[in-house]
């Protein structure tokens, strides 16, 4: 009996090549970072070979994005979320993922999205008092 060629399950489109090019890497550079052949990277990018989760996670770290971004978001997409862009930038600068999550939580505390911000400006909450008009005098 002749060997049958494996049929890989369809992974659907990915943005692996786009993210690599966006960060300015060649397939050879990425392959060296992952300790695989550049043909493996090419096959994953083209979809002719299925990607594995540990490769996706490693690539996300290299490219400064999340694993989900590699599969579902083009780095050139103008509608990418501000949070996604911030995460990518911080990861690219080597910020630890735990620290990154903490930074995002802090920013969410102080920054509201445009729609919520406009609404809160129109209807101030009752506990907000008007700014004081009295001058503060420094103690001698």
Q: pLDDT tens-digit profile of 75-124?
A: 877 445 667 777 777 777 787 877 887 887 887 787 655 444 444 444 44
Buried b (16+ CB within 10 A) or exposed e, 29-49: ebbeebeeeeebbeebbeeeb
All structural domains of the chain, each given as residue ranges with its CATH number in brackets, are 16-113 (1.10.260)
User: If you search the block for the tokens 């990518």, which residue do you land on?
Assistant: 88
Decide: 30 and 41 in contact? Cβ < 8 Å.
yes
CA pair distance 82, 10, nearest whole angstrom:
30
The whole-model pTM stands at 0.52
How far is the C-alpha of 132 from the C-alpha of 75, rounded, in Å?
46
Give the integer Cα–Cα distance in Å for 85 and 121: 26
Report the percentage of the chain scoring pLDDT > 70.
66
Give the tens place of pLDDT for each residue, 49-78. 888 889 999 999 998 888 888 888 888 774
């Amino acid at each position: 009996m002749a060997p049958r060629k494996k049929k890989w399950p369809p992974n659907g489109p990915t943005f692996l090549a786009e993210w690599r090019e966006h960060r300015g890497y060649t397939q050879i550079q990425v392959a060296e970072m992952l300790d695989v052949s550049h043909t493996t990277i090419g096959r994953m990018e083209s979809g002719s070979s299925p990607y594995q989760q540990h490769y996706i996670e490693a690539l996300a770290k290299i490219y400064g994005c999340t694993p989900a971004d590699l599969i579902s978001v083009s780095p050139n997409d103008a509608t990418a979320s501000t949070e996604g862009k911030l995460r990518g930038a911080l990861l690219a600068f080597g910020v630890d993922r735990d620290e990154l999550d903490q930074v995002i939580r802090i920013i969410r505390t102080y920054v509201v999205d445009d729609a919520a911000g406009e609404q809160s400006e129109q209807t101030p909450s009752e506990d907000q008092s008007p700014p004081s008009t009295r001058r503060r005098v420094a103690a001698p």
